[in-house]
Structure 1
Amino acid sequence: MSLQRTDFAVPPRPSRLVPTLWALVAGVIIIVAAAGLPIDWSDLGAVPGQVWHYSVLMFENPNWEKLPRALFEMWRSISMAWVGAIMCVVVSIPLGMLAAHSVGPAWVRLPLRWLFAVIRAVPEVIIALILLTITGLTPFTGALALGIAGIGTQGKWVYETVESVQEGASDAVRAAGGGTAEVTRWALWPAAAPTLMSFALYRFEINIRTSAVLGLVGAGGIGTMLANYTNFREWDTVGMLLIVVIVVTMLMDTISGAIRRRIMNGARMSTKAPAKPKRTRSRDVDRVG
Structure 2
Amino acid sequence: MTANDPNPVLPRRPSRLVPTIAAVAVGIVVIAATAGLPIDWRDLGTVPAQLVHFGGLMFESPNWEKLPRALTEMWRSISMAWIGAILCVLVSIPLGMLAAGSVGPVWLRLPMRGVFAVIRAVPEVIIALILLTITGLTPFTGALALGIAGIGTQGKWVYETIESVQEGASEAVRAAGGGTAEVTRWALWPAAAPALLSLALYRFEINIRTSAVLGLVGAGGIGSMLANYTNYRQWDTVGMLLIVVVVVTMTMDAISGAIRRRVTRGPGVARTTRTALPARTTRSRNVDRVR
Mapped partners of 2:108, 2:290: distance in 1: 70
Q: Residues 27-59 of structure 1, C-alpha deviation per residue, up to 9 Å, x if partnerless?
A: 111101100000000100000000110000000
2-side partners of 1:18 and 1:180: how far apart?
43
- 5+ residue gaps, structure 1, are 285-289
Task: Give the C-alpha shift of residue 267 in structure 1.
Answer: 8.6
Name 1:162's counterpart in structure 2.
Answer: 162
Equivalent in 275, 282, 289 of residue 289 of structure 2: 282
Runs of 4+ in 1 over 3 A off after TM superposition: 3-7, 274-277
The 3 A distance-change label for structure 1 pair 150 and 283 is closer
Give, in whole Å, the separation in 1 of the partners of 2:245 and 2:290: 67
Task: Report SS of the residue matched to 2:76.
Answer: helix
The 10-residue stretch of structure 1 (4-13 or 221-230) with the greater mean CA deviation from structure 2? 4-13
Which residue number in structure 1 is paired with residue 38 of structure 2?
38
**CA deviations over 1:98-133 (Å, ceiling 9, x no partner):** 000110111111110000000000000000000000
Matches within 5 A, 1:1-289: 4-266=4-266, 277-280=283-286, 281-282=288-289
- How far off is 1:18 after superposition? 1.4
* Cα distance change of structure 1 residues 132 and 279 upon mapping to structure 2, 3 Å threshold: same
Alignment partner, residue 287 of structure 1:
none
Give the Å deviation of 1:92. Answer: 0.2
- Would you say the 8 A contact 1:139–1:220 is kept in 2? yes
Other structure's SS at 2:289 match: coil
Change (3 A) 1:15 1:268: farther
Moved more, 149-158 or 5-14: 5-14
Counterpart secondary structure, 1:28: helix
Q: How big is each residue's C-alpha offset from its partner over 1:132-156, in whole Å with a ceiling of 9 and x where there is no partner?
A: 0000000000000000000000000
Distance 1:4 1:261, change over 3 A: closer
Equivalent position amino acid for 2:289 in 1: S
> Taking every aligned residue pair, what percent have the same amino acid on both sides?
76
- Cα distance change, pair 55–4 in 1 and its aligned pair in 2 (3 A): closer
Q: In the alignment, is the contact (CA less than 8 A) between 1:67 and 1:240 conserved in 2?
A: yes
**Partner SS state of residue 153, structure 2:** helix
Q: Give 1 or 2 for the bigger CA radius of gyration.
A: 1
State the shift of 1:14 in Å: 1.4
Q: Distance in 2 between matches of 1:130 and 1:242?
A: 27
CA distance in 2, matches of 1:236, 1:109: 52
Q: CA deviation at 1:11?
A: 1.2
- The 2-side partners of 1:223 and 1:19 are apart by 44
Q: Distance in 2 between matches of 1:220 and 1:25?
A: 43
| CA displacement at 1:7 relative to structure 2 | 3.3
Deviation at 1:15, TM superposition (A): 1.5
State the TM-score, normalizing by the size of structure 2: 0.93
Kindly tell me: are residues 267 and 103 of structure 1, through their superposed partners in 2, closer, same or farther at Cα, counting changes over 3 Å? farther
Report the aligned-residue RMSD.
2.1
Q: Note closer, same or farther for the CA distance 1:100–1:122 as it changes in structure 2 (3 Å cut).
A: same
Which segments of 5 or more consecutive residues in structure 2 lack a partner in the other structure?
none
On the 8 A contact 1:194/1:267 being kept in 2, the answer is no
